[in-house]
């Protein structure tokens, strides 16, 4: 799932090389990702099976995102709120670790805990971004 997430992030980051007419970078990143997938699959599928392919996709997409981001900052700088993004990712990881360590065996109880975790995350986001305050201040649109 994280491989698909990073694929989407890479897709969104790809705008910079289209806007700057440097589309060759898209090819470079795709070739880099292909070599990573191929290398990881050849090295680890015989040992770990198809799970290695999933990890290969994750690592490949992550490396392409990082490469695209680094080159984007050189050629078409966009200042993302990285501290805030890291904060949301860290909260999601903490909630995931807590949920995975609880070891609840009953499906309905586990679902309730997961729903409460998502609600906690959303509540944090709403509070952090002051969404309700902005909504009430500016009215309905």
* Burial class (CB within 10 angstroms; exposed 0-12, middle 13-18, buried 19+) of 66: middle
Alpha helices by DSSP H, listed for the chain, are 2-13, 15-19, 24-48, 51-75, 82-102, 107-129, 131-138
**Same domain (yes/no): 88, 35:** no
Q: What is the pLDDT of residue 140?
A: 59
Pair 69, 89 in one domain: no
Per-residue confidence (pLDDT) for residue 101, from 0 to 100? 87
Of 42, 75, 108, which residue sits at a domain end? 75
87 and 118 together in one domain? yes
The pLDDT, as a whole number, for residue 15 is 92
Mean per-residue pLDDT, 13-34: 94
> Is the domain of 11 the same as that of 62?
yes
* pLDDT tier for residue 139 given thresholds of 50, 70 and 90: low
Same domain, 70 and 92: no
Angle ∠(86,128,137) on CA atoms, nearest 5: 145
11 and 56 assigned to the same domain: yes
Nearest to 56 by CA among 73, 80, 87, 32: 32
Contact 102, 113 (CB under 8 A): yes
Q: What is the tens place of the pLDDT at every residue in 92-138? A: 999 989 888 888 888 888 889 999 999 999 999 888 888 777 666 76
At 24 the pLDDT is: 96
Question: pLDDT tens digits for 83-104?
Answer: 999 999 999 999 989 888 888 8
Same domain for 56 and 40: yes
Q: Are residues 56 and 71 in the same domain?
A: yes
Given 75, 103, 124, which residue is the final one in a domain? 75
**What's residue 39's pLDDT?**
97
- In this structure, the answer to whether residues 13 and 67 fall within a common structural domain is yes
**Shared-domain flag, residues 20 and 43:** yes
Domain containing residue 62 = 2-75
d(CA 73, CA 108): 46
Which of 31, 50, 75 is the last residue in one of the domains?
75
- The domain tally of the chain equals 2
Query: 101: Cβ–Cβ under 8 A, 6 or more apart, which residues?
Result: none
Q: Are residues 112 and 64 in the same domain?
A: no
Asked if residue 7 and residue 57 are part of one domain, the reply reads: yes
Over residues 29-86, the pLDDT tens digits come to: 999 999 999 999 999 999 999 999 999 999 999 999 999 999 999 999 999 999 999 9
Query: Which single residue is written with the structure tokens 């990285």?
Result: 82
Q: What backbone phi and psi angles, to 5 degrees, belong to 2?
A: -65, -30
């Amino acid at each position: 799932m994280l491989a698909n997430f990073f694929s989407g992030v890479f897709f969104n980051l790809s705008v910079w090389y289209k806007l700057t007419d440097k589309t060759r970078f898209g090819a470079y990143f795709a070739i880099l990702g292909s070599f990573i997938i191929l290398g990881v699959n050849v090295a680890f599928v015989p040992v770990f099976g198809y799970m290695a392919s999933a990890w290969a996709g994750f690592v490949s997409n992550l490396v392409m995102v990082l490469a695209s981001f680094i080159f984007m900052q050189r050629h078409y700088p966009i200042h993302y709120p990285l501290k805030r993004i890291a904060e949301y990712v860290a909260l999601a990881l903490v909630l995931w670790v807590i949920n995975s360590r609880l070891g609840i065996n009953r499906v309905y109880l586990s679902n309730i805990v997961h729903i409460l975790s998502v609600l906690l995350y959303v509540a944090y986001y709403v509070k952090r971004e002051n969404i309700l305050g902005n909504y009430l201040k500016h009215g309905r649109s």
